[in-house]
């Protein structure tokens, strides 16, 4: 990171509306080279400025810096050994909400886990355990499928889903999965075509859970019927647990569709960049 005095920073920002494109481009490069540490200074300058051209330049610059930080975090997450699901979902969440702190998301998730944990008993049969989780999440806390705005980008943002209590199949499954795994249950994600579900898999018991339909429990035969209905050949991955990386990939794919539907082509391009990081 380059170290510039506050005076030099002020001087650079004031050149952001220079009519000479070369000057402007040089200023942007210089500010970008400092890295994301310069963001608070830029935000302060944006508030103080009454020049809409400078404000627009600052907005674009801040977005570029935040996006580059997001890409770095996602790259680090992919390389990490544990690939923690909540951390990954938080990183994606910062695309729409750059100021969201991981601690905030973690605290909100812990509160939900706590609500389930207070009603939970470890000595129950698996189906009973799932019934309790369903009761707390879908009856008490009123989480439900966002069928009205199914393609809204907010459905892929965990903070948004925790706030509105409405989500798409993968975000509702992610919340369910984070709670179940914290309770020590063998619950995993399953990548079905057009639908994301969960599976409970221990050496004695195996069944599936549809968090988009209030935690409905179903069987392997139901998946076969579902695939037959869609005229899709059964593949192992439609029955077996997927990885946390798969969950992030699917979340980003959903986001791409969401932004395409509302005509946000720049965001589509950026989210495709994020997807590429995970898939390469």
The average pLDDT across 91-116 equals: 97
Domain extent, residue 173, equals: 85-279
pLDDT at 76: 97
pLDDT digits (tens, 9 = 90+) for 175-210: 999 999 999 999 999 999 999 999 999 999 999 999
Statement to judge: residues 22 and 147 lie in one domain: no
Residue 18 reports pLDDT greater than 70: no
Displacement of CA 189 from its chain's centroid (Å):
15
Statement to judge: residues 75 and 142 lie in one domain: no
Around Cβ 47, how many Cβ atoms within 10 Å? 9
Close Cβ partners of 83 (under 8 Å, ≥ 6 residues apart): 77, 243, 244, 245
pLDDT class for 1, splitting at 50, 70, 90? very low
Domain count, the chain: 2
Statement to judge: residues 171 and 64 lie in one domain: no
Which among 64, 79, 94 is the end of a domain?
Answer: 79
The average pLDDT across 71-88 equals: 97
Instruction: From 224, 196, 193, select the one nearest 210 (Cα to Cα).
Output: 196
Which among 23, 58, 79 is the end of a domain?
Answer: 79
Statement to judge: residues 32 and 134 lie in one domain: no
32 or 272, which is more confident: 272
Of the listed ranges 29-33, 121-125, 147-151, 171-175, the one predicted with least confidence: 29-33
Of the listed ranges 58-67, 79-88, 267-276, the one predicted with least confidence: 58-67
274 or 55, which is more confident: 274
139 or 60, which is more confident: 139
pLDDT digits (tens, 9 = 90+) for 216-269: 999 999 999 999 999 999 999 999 999 999 999 999 999 999 999 999 999 999
Helix (H, G, I), strand (E, B) or coil at 196: strand
Which among 17, 51, 79 is the end of a domain?
Answer: 79
Residue 30 reports pLDDT greater than 80: no
Query: Which residues on neighbouring strands pair with residue 197, listed in sequence order?
Result: 190
Residue 2 reports pLDDT greater than 70: no
């Amino acid at each position: 990171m380059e170290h510039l005095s506050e005076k030099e920073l002020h001087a650079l920002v004031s050149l952001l509306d220079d009519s000479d494109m070369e000057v402007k481009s040089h200023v942007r490069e210089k500010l970008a080279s400092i890295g994301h540490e310069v963001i608070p200074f830029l935000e302060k300058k944006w508030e103080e400025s009454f020049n809409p051209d400078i404000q627009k330049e600052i907005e674009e610059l801040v977005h570029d810096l935040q996006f580059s930080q997001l890409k770095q975090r996602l790259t680090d997450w992919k390389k990490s050994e544990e690939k923690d699901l909540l951390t990954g979902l938080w990183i994606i969440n910062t695309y729409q909400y750059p100021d969201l702190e991981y601690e905030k998301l973690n605290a909100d998730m812990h509160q939900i886990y706590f609500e389930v944990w207070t009603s939970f008993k470890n000595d129950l049969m698996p189906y009973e355990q799932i019934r309790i989780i369903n009761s707390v999440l879908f009856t008490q806390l009123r989480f439900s499928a966002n069928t009205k705005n199914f393609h809204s980008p907010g459905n892929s943002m965990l903070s948004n889903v925790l706030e509105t209590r409405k989500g798409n199949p993968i975000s509702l499954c992610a919340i369910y999965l984070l709670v179940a795994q914290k309770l020590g249950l063998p619950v995993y994600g399953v990548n079905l075509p057009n639908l994301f579900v969960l599976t409970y898999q221990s050496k004695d018991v195996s069944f599936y859970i549809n968090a988009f339909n209030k935690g409905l429990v179903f069987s392997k035969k139901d998946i076969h019927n579902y695939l037959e209905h869609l005229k899709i050949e059964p593949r192992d991955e439609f029955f077996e647990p997927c990885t946390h990386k798969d969950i992030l990939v699917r979340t980003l794919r959903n986001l791409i569709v969401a932004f395409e539907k509302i005509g946000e082509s720049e965001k589509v391009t950026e989210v495709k960049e994020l997807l590429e990081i995970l898939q390469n």
